[in-house]
Structure 1
């Protein structure tokens, strides 16, 4: 089945203390976004990419594509005011029945194995949401108090969140709500359940300066 990765890279560099959006920061001499795109292209020869960027950084994204990739497999579109609207813009370019991966552009250390697991589960179950166990104790806040909960029933959600296009595209026709923090919550609001798959501890999201140092260590452990 056709495979499309919608890579959402609309974030700013606020928590990185830089004016340059984190997806364009250098990691081992190349932009963070390079590694994300490269892994998806390596995962399947028939993978196509829809890259969603802030409108003012489309030119910078095009420069990365021109420098490193076959532009025939990559399209760029502008993001929206929220993640929901950015994904919605990307999905407008999905024209054929497909398995669609929606991935954070700054989760640049995912593996091709994870992409394969998500694809296979989405073909079988219609969706695949990668999750990992919580290593920390967890507490839930209440109005005037807080309460510990069993961390064994807590999962930390990652991307690529992967769906059959017959599920994802209709789900994104509903109205945006503040509770939509990822694609799984949108699909659930549409009335469908999602299927969880094992994620990867190294599939971190680059949001703060420390994350770049961690990513460099993971890439060059020696």
Structure 2
């Protein structure tokens, strides 16, 4: 039987780098909040996601409820309060799923609203086979590493830019998040990699993370072109 699928959308941004008056997950993208676009992508019926958890700072619950009412959002999802860091926020999202005995869970940035159903499906499917799978793309630019002597070139054919979703066997991710938080944890793959090799899935350059005003302009152009 196919494994149950779950999703955790992490949206704890404050919008500092965006320079906006509200968190970036609530900024309008073609007339709708960024986070709503992301939620809609994951809850497409064909993906068969059983339970979607949206992790927000507690003081942002009211504005999200207001936005959902304004846009007549009927997409089923559960809101969970975030923590002091992304790691803590994902752990809080996992706590909502603690009654689930088996399945695959996707962790995705709430401000990656252009992720395609094909990338989501491929990452879920790879995690079902390998236990841990992450969407990633090759870097387009040359890459250099800093050293005390200056810098040196890296072989970009051996490098990948990590995106989300990052999908894991549920029990594996739960075990990983029982370990103490470390400063080296930059994403969920870095939390899991001591327990399980990470399988890479072809991501999509259009699956951008909205961080700066330029990202929002590009996202709008890409959405209009779809």
> TM (normalized to structure 1)?
0.95
Structure 2 partner of 1:146: 151
Matches within 5 A, 1:102-121: 102-121=107-126
Q: State the distance in 1 between where 2:63 and 2:40 align.
A: 16
Query: Are residues 160 and 46 of structure 1, via their aligned partners in 2, closer, same or farther at CA, if it must alter by over 3 Å?
Result: closer
> Deviation digits for residues 68-109 of structure 1, max 9, x if unmatched?
4336x3110111111100000000011212210000000000
Separation of aligned partners in 2, 1:39 and 1:48: 14
Q: Which aligned pairs between 1:41-52 and structure 2 lie closer than 5 A?
A: 41-42=43-44, 43-52=46-55
Instruction: Give the direction of change, closer, same or farther, for the CA distance of 1:100–1:16 in structure 2 (3 Å limit).
Output: same
Shift of 1:158: 0.2
8 Å contact kept, 2:42–2:49: no
Alignment of 1:90-105 (within 5 A): 90-94=93-97, 95-96=99-100, 97-105=102-110
8 Å CA contact 1:6, 1:51 repeated in 2:
yes
The match for 1:187 is: 192
CA-based RMSD of the aligned residues comes to 1.4
User: Is the 1:104–1:159 contact (alpha carbons within 8 Å) kept by the matching residues of 2?
Assistant: yes
Q: Please give the per-residue CA displacement for 1:19-49, whole angstroms capped at 9, x wherever unaligned.
A: 3000000000000001100010004244321
SS in 2 for 1:158: strand
Residue equivalent to 1:25:
27
Deviates more, 1:60-69 or 1:37-46: 60-69
* 1:215 equivalenced with 2:219 (yes/no): yes
Change in CA separation of 1:46 and 1:135 when aligned onto 2, cut-off 3 Å: closer
Give 1:166 shift. Answer: 1.5
Distance 1:30 1:46 in 2: 22
Q: What is the total number of aligned residue pairs between the two structures?
A: 220
Per-residue CA distance 1:162-181 (angstroms, 9 max, x = gap)? 00102101000010011100
Gaps of 5+ in 2: none
Q: Quick one: distance in 2 between partners of 1:108 and 1:135?
A: 22
| Shift, 1:160, TM fit | 0.5
- Unmatched 5+ residue regions in structure 1? none
**2: CA distance, partners of 1:11 / 1:199:** 23
Q: Take 1:174 and 1:62, find their aligned partners in 2: how far apart are those partners?
A: 33
